[in-house]
Amino acid sequence: MTSVKHMKWWGWGNEGVGFHHEDKPGFAPFVEYAVGLDLGSATRAGEPSFDELDVPKSTATAAFTKQLAAIVGADNVTRDDMARVIHTYGKSLRDLVRIRSNAIKRSPDVVVYPADEAEVQAIVDAAVAANAVIIPFGGGSNIAGSLEAMPAEKRVVISLDLGRLRKVVAIDAAAGLARIQAGAQGPDLEKQLNARGWTIGHFPDSFTHSTVGGWVATRSSGMQSDKYGDIADITRGLRVVRPDAMLVLRPLPSTSSGPSVREMILGSEGRLGVITEVTVQVHRIPKKRDVYAYFFPNWKSGIAAMQAISESDATPSITRISDAKETGFSLATSKTRSGLSKFTAETALPKIMTSKGWNLDEICLSFIGFEGGVAHAKRQKKIVDKIVTKHGGMGVGKGPGILYDQKKFDTPYLRDFLLDMGAAGDVSETATPWSSVVKLHSAAHKAAQAAYDSLGTKGWIMSHMSHSYHSGACLYFTFAFTFRDDPLGEYDTVKRAIQQSFVDNDGTISHHHGVGLEHSPWLEQDISPEGVKVMRGLFDAADPAGNFNPGKITPAPVVPVRAAPKTKTTTTTTTAPAKKTAAVKKTAPTAKAAPKTKAVPKAKAAPKTATAQPKSTRAKATPKK
């Protein structure tokens, strides 16, 4: 296989940058190089057929459905199979494979679309009285298993879709606070805020389809969190529906009212009630906003620069750096060019880099954003430029940053394309102190490779540092490989190896995707057994009957917690087990859900709308008003 260093080098111009191989567009050869998948000869999956899905029969009685209809109107409650399938899972690779493999064990029995907080309260009260299960549903973009009903659940399961609660209710201009209904999706709420001169400044990868309530429920983080903060920093007030009562947290700047109930709701994934409204900190739309690109000779020097920036007086909105592999991917998926930009890309920039003694296989691409008043933005850039130079980096202008802004919400959808072609593509993210960033990065890459080797398949892993803090940073890993005979079993092997490498190297199990079912096996290793005990006690006390999204975050322990070594001869678990032992099988019971198929795309598939974004599917289940 042709290596990256033998590929034709294309540098940055105003139109982007890319690797090209044999003068063909870069993405196809890159995929073949990375995961051994020849897109030219691979058979793409045909159009999915909803009729081939075996959808579990709804257990919601006509009487109970009628009771819900009396609250929201007959047009806003449904037991329709299509609507139930759409609300069964989120959008993780595991979710999509199970849909395509016709492996739906438990769907919601009824989907309800309330119009306001009063209707949410009435639905919650009716559900608790009937001992039903309530799973709040926002944009449906969750990838941590936070939306699915437990397979053994015998009670009626309600998917409570908050898509009709999508307004910016009010803005307190003096305080810079905005009251927003929980079902407002990113583009809708930003459009409403922009119309009044404000921005929330929160832009996660899922921005176009996720909701403010979902952001709070999973402790989301956005691309510009270096300036605006994570959703935990942005959220000031909350309204949460609970049985026969409202939990109301006023939007105070700070308080010493005991343990923070606000923090309890943040990341609770629907287990403490239904979030109906969020008061967030908003900011005036900045007069100047620029994203600049920089190159560093290698990952270590780039990370050192990012740490120095976090400790400096600079306050950039974005500090992001890709490792060498992700830099190669970015180069492979860029636009072609001609004229002066082609000369700059093909000749000038590579020549400058090699003259500096850089190895072009190790270079790392960074994006740094500056926002605010014109003078402020210029001052921030000046500070950053000095730090970049000190750490051996070089700036290449705004052209790549413009391209980054255009593509920033597109990359996640490559996963669906790869799945069509019989390959897996997914992500895992963590946060760790600066002292462990380089170590954890290396360990995760080695763990993934060991997992690929154990499966006998070709795989790829790349990563970037996406968020900076004074004490550390978030590392975001993307991995891909070609399926063999057991799609979910193979996925579990790789995912488990990466996740274990996080906790083994001073990282958390998730920085911003939440826990759900996907990451809960590592929770005790993350927050200690006693921490899990306290969390479980909170959920049990607040929801003794288990009506609110049961089983998420703190299910029954399924991964043995590795105790601290008592003697020098004590051994520990490897980070990437080559064999599927009985203990490993227990860590991911969902792996049994998918039948063993040699080609995922050829398995029975769900309709295109089943994995489409909820905004379009919601219109199908909700009447036009």
Residues annotated as catalytic are: 476
Separation in Å, CA 138 to CA 32, 115, 276, 332, 466: 37, 13, 10, 34, 25
How far apart are alpha carbons 139 and 186 in whole angstroms? 10
- Please give the distance of CA 366 from its chain centroid, rounded to a whole number: 20
Angle of CA points 574, 578, 579, to nearest 5°: 110
For the beta carbon of residue 263, count every other beta carbon within 10 angstroms.
12
Q: Return the structure tokens found at 275.
A: 């979030």
Separation in Å, CA 501 to CA 58, 472, 494, 608, 622: 41, 17, 11, 35, 44
How far apart are alpha carbons 551 and 539 in whole angstroms? 10
How far apart are alpha carbons 570 and 581 in whole angstroms? 20
How far apart are alpha carbons 357 and 339 in whole angstroms? 27
User: Strand pairing of 168-172 and 459-468?
Assistant: unpaired
- Where do the DSSP E strands lie in 308-458? 318-322, 364-372, 394-395, 423-433
- What amino acid is encoded at 288 in this protein? K
- What amino acid is encoded at 105 in this protein? K
318-322, strands of its sheet edge to edge = 394-395, 288-296, 364-372, 318-322, 459-468, 472-482, 423-433
- Please give the distance of CA 66 from its chain centroid, rounded to a whole number: 37
Q: Are 524 and 557 in contact (CB under 8 A)?
A: yes
* DSSP H stretches of helix in 408-436: 414-420
SS (H, E, C) 587-611: HCHHHHHCCCCCCHHHCCCCCHHHC
Q: Which residue has the tokens 């520990």?
A: 572
SS (H, E, C) 45-58: CCCCCHHHCCCCCC
Helices (H) and strands (E) in the chain, counts: 23, 18
Angle of CA points 494, 595, 458, to nearest 5°: 30
Q: Return the structure tokens found at 313.
A: 């007086």
User: Strand pairing of 177-181 and 133-137?
Assistant: unpaired
User: Strand pairing of 459-468 and 318-322?
Assistant: antiparallel
How far apart are alpha carbons 587 and 517 in whole angstroms? 10
Separation in Å, CA 351 to CA 123, 176, 346, 348, 385: 66, 49, 9, 5, 21
Q: Return the structure tokens found at 624.
A: 């036009």
- What amino acid is encoded at 199 in this protein? T
The residue count of the chain comes to 625
- What amino acid is encoded at 92 in this protein? S
Q: Report helix, strand or coil for 474.
A: strand
Separation in Å, CA 378 to CA 107, 225, 288, 497: 53, 20, 9, 43
